[in-house]
Each structure stands twice: as C-alpha cells, then as structure tokens.
Structure 1
Amino acid sequence: MRIAQVTSLQESVPPVDKNGLEFVVHFLTEGLIARGHEVTLFGTGDSKTSARLHVLWPTAVSRDLFGSKMDGAYFSRWSHEAAYLRSNEFDLIHTHDVCGMFWALLQSPLVVTVHSPVERVIPPYKKHFPRRYWPYMGNLENKLRDTYLVFISESQRRHYPKGRHHFVVHN
C-alpha cells in the first residue's frame, strides 16, 4: 500500500528533545515500512526516516528563526496541500493535524489522527460565519462526518459529533 504521512512541520520526525505526536508518526511510519508498505513522509529536512521524505521546510519550524515567527497554521496548510496535490500517488493519506479545508476535494481515502484536545483543534466552525452562509458549508460538514478520524482517548471522541468512521486508538 502507498501511504502518505502528513505532519504540521512544527517538529522533525522524530522530534528532538521532546515527546510528542512526531514520535507516534515516527514509530507508525517505521512500522508500516517494516510491513512492506511504501510510505512518503511530508515533513522537515531534519527528519530521520526510512520513508521517502518530501521536504517542505529545512528544519522543524519550532527551531527555525524565520519560521517560528510565523503562524504555525500556515505551515500545516502548506504540508497538507503538498500531500493533497499528490493524492493520486497514494492509496491512503494519513494526517496528524486537523487541517480540513480541502478534505472535500480529495478522491483518495483520508485518515486523520487527532492528537490534541478536540475543543482546541476542531472548533464549531459555523459559529464564525453568519447563518446565511451555513448552507454552503454542507459539503465540508459531510466530509468531516465521513472522514476516518482516530482519537487517542474516549474523552476526545465524546466531544466530537458522531461519525461512521470514528475510532479510538490509545497512545
């Protein structure tokens, strides 16, 4: 299986001097490769991996003088956009950051692992828009409901609207 692993670029994979979701990405990526899968990691140039590395920034943004001054969401969107533009090359895209603006456009299966507290990562986005715009958001909302979401605790899962493909895998 051809799998894309997508990170936010905030840290290298694995991270340096930190615990974090990038360790999960690292161990998962290496395990998939050991099982014979072709994995492409969308990450930073200082990542150490057996996967094909699609470098999007020279170092972890958190340790980069220029990058650390910018909003991390820009880097996350950039990383996701790069993977989504190559989606025809993958049987599955696995992202570790909730960056859903383009999910509705993807043809390939998508798995999203939610590592952070849900209320911080997935705000009720409709509250940011006047009600007259809500009908235009239906496609995104349906895609969110149908996306394969992996939570790392039951507590996270309870805070998110029920979906057909929502699972808990404890760290």
Structure 2
Amino acid sequence: MVVPPWYELPPPGYGGLEQVCAALVDALVDRGHDVTLFGAGSGSGTRASFVGSAPAPAADRVGQVLPELAHLARVNQMLADERFDVVHDHTTAGVLFARHRPAPTVLTVHNRPTGELADVLTDVDPSAGLVAISHAQRRLRPELSWIDVVHNGMVGNLPVKARPGIGPVLWLARYAPDKGPDLAIHACRAAGLPLVLAGKCNEPVEEEYLHRVIEPMVGPDVTLLRNPDRQTCVDLLLAARCLIMPVRWEEPFGMAMLEAMATGTPVVALNRGAVPELINHGETGLICDDPVDLAPALRDVSAIEPENCVSHVRRWFSAERMAEGYERVYRAWSSDRRPELALSRSAWVP
C-alpha cells in the first residue's frame, strides 16, 4: 500500500484520503492479508508493517511536485528488493512509476480525473489499472483505463447521536470555491439558521480565498474555524442540525458526508458528482438541484431520524465492504497481469 507523503495514517485532522487508507489497511489486515504500508512519518497508526520514505510527513508542502516524486522514487527503490502480489497506490503521480515495479499496480484515483490529471492518467502502463471511487467520477472520463469502481468506506467507531441535532448547520471541507462555503452562508441566512464553517486552510490558495471572499461575509450568525482537529470535527457533527454540502464541482466522493451520516447527522447537498451515490434522498439527507432549494431543505431536514443515517453507512460504506471490493480487484488484476508484466519486464533494462 503506497500512500502520499503529506500526512500520517490516520491523520490528526483534515485528510479524507488518509482516513480511507487507514481504514482499508486495517480491514485488510483483519481479513488475514499481509500488508506493508509505504508512507512518510512514524507509521504507528495502522496494523500494517510500515516502511517510511522520510522521517516526517511533508504537510507543509502539500501539492508540491517534488516531495511526492521523491517519495515515489524511494518507494520504487524499496519495492525492487521485495516480493508482493500487488501494489496499491493512492498517490497522484504513482501512475508514472508503476511501469518500473516488479508487481502489478492498482491505482485508486481520489481526485476529479479531468484537466491536467486526466493527461497524467492517460499514460497508464499495461501493468497498472485505475480504480474509481464513484460511478460519477468514472463517467467524467470513461475512456481511461478503469478496471473497477470501489466506494470509499470508513471504520464504524464514531459516537452516534440518539436524537436529531439541535445545533448549528455545519459546513466541513477545505476553503475553496468548489466546496461552496459562500453558498452555505447564503442558505443558512435565508433559512434563519446559525452556521459553523470548519475548514482546512493550509495552502496559499485556501488562505487567499478565505481572506478575500469568506471572512467579509462572516457575521454573528457564522462561526469560522480553521483546521479543526479530529475530535473537534466529531463534536461538531454530533451537535449539528445537519451537514451542508453545497458543492460547485463534480465531487468525486465526499468523505465528510459519510462521517456525518455515521454519527446520525443528515446531509443537505447539491446534486453534483457522487452526492446521489452517497445520500438516500429523504432518508439520510436531502439533495437539491438548485442553491435556492437549500434553505427550505435546511429547515426540513430535522425530520430525518439519526438511525436511518447510521444504518445506511454501516450497510453500504463500511471498511469491510471496501476491503471486499479491493480484494476482488487485487485477485483479478494480479492474476490477469502477471504474464503481461513478466513479458514487459524481460525487455526492460533498468
């Protein structure tokens, strides 16, 4: 299992990808698999065997090219001396390194596969296959080398509320136009409800958007939090009336929606990307086609029972279900690709 070098597993705060990978690693170990995790930092947060490419994560350099490239180059050097059935890569640039590995590579695409990322993903070695995290994500570029769709899952260890929350509406994401914090403010004001904005704000583009667009909109009805830790996020979800997801982009997945529903908190979201794959409209949340519909949905959502949300996540988005999906992918891909991999490697001179 190869993860990006940005955060520990599981992350102490923001880090949806890292939460997913930590849950998957432990679920696979629990199911009897021998898992080696290649990452950065101490590696003490999962039950896998850990191999570090650097003594500390590069959290202060998230999104920069060189830290991930250096991480993957070191990982490939270490992989050359080992024997694995399959390599599961969760990095952005891993597709460029797969062809030099001694085992077939499965690459989970965690972001929207368009623009520059789509250009990278078109250069897929025959020994590597792409896994989508939602059908909506796969539909954005159906011609890419997809081999399956496996929804993200999560560990069912969050506390659960016994009755609908009576606290503020909660927005939980990174400060970016795509995530719609401004739409959340407008919707809550139209509904006459208080709002908590709790967002990741580490990168310059996030800082600039927060200062230029969001902070001037904040009033006494809006509480603004930057980089809340994990426990704070859980406490906010437990108190919240609902989670609002007014996304402006084709959301590839949206782990915040799963975490909200896992605590019994329903979700009000715009109908973009994977939203309808995660929310059962009228049972675990309300899906709106237009931003003007968000305000009435925020008022109506309190009728949804917490147990509907919790059972939905446990049935369809558990770590065990995710691990079963990847077991299917691993078995098919490692057996199908080994003859082709051996042939391509016989002609390759390092």
Bucket of the pairwise TM-score, normalised by the shorter protein = 0.7 to 0.9
- CA distance in structure 2 between the aligned counterparts of 1:162 and 1:70, rounded to whole angstroms: 29
- CA distance in structure 2 between the aligned counterparts of 1:162 and 1:146, rounded to whole angstroms: 17
8 Å Cα contact 2:96/2:123 also seen in 1: no
Query: 2:68 matched to 1:76?
Result: yes
* Partner residue of 1:123 out of 118, 141, 153: 118
- CA distance in structure 2 between the aligned counterparts of 1:69 and 1:20, rounded to whole angstroms: 17
- 1:121/1:150 CA distance change after superposition, 3 Å: farther
Aligned residues: 147
8 Å Cα contact 1:44/1:57 also seen in 2: yes
Secondary structure at 2:35 match in 1: strand
User: Percent of pairs identical after alignment?
Assistant: 29
* Partner residue of 2:20 out of 14, 18, 24: 24
Structure with the greater relative contact order (CA < 8 A, sep ≥ 6): 1 or 2? 1
* Partner residue of 2:52 out of 51, 55, 66: 55
- 1:13/1:69 CA distance change after superposition, 3 Å: closer
Query: 2:133 matched to 1:141?
Result: no
Q: Give the superposition deviation at 1:70.
A: 7.8
Q: CA RMSD in A?
A: 2.5
**Deviation string for 1:2-45 (max 9, x for gaps)?**
xxx11111111111112411011101111111122111111122
Structure 2 unmatched runs, 5+ = 153-350
8 Å Cα contact 1:12/1:46 also seen in 2: yes
Structure 1 unmatched runs, 5+ = 63-67, 126-139
Query: 2:6 matched to 1:10?
Result: yes
Q: Which residue of 2 aligns with 1:134?
A: none
Query: 2:95 matched to 1:113?
Result: no
AA aligned to 1:39 is V
TM-score in terms of structure 1 length: 0.73
Write 1 or 2 for the structure with the bigger share of strand: 1
Secondary structure at 1:112 match in 2: strand
Q: Which moved more, 1:161-170 or 1:44-53?
A: 161-170
AA aligned to 1:115 is H
- CA distance in structure 2 between the aligned counterparts of 1:122 and 1:146, rounded to whole angstroms: 19
8 Å Cα contact 1:118/1:160 also seen in 2: yes
AA aligned to 1:14 is P
**Deviation string for 1:133-159 (max 9, x for gaps)?**
xxxxxxx8361x662211111222123
Q: Moved runs in structure 1, 4+ residues, more than 6 A?
A: none
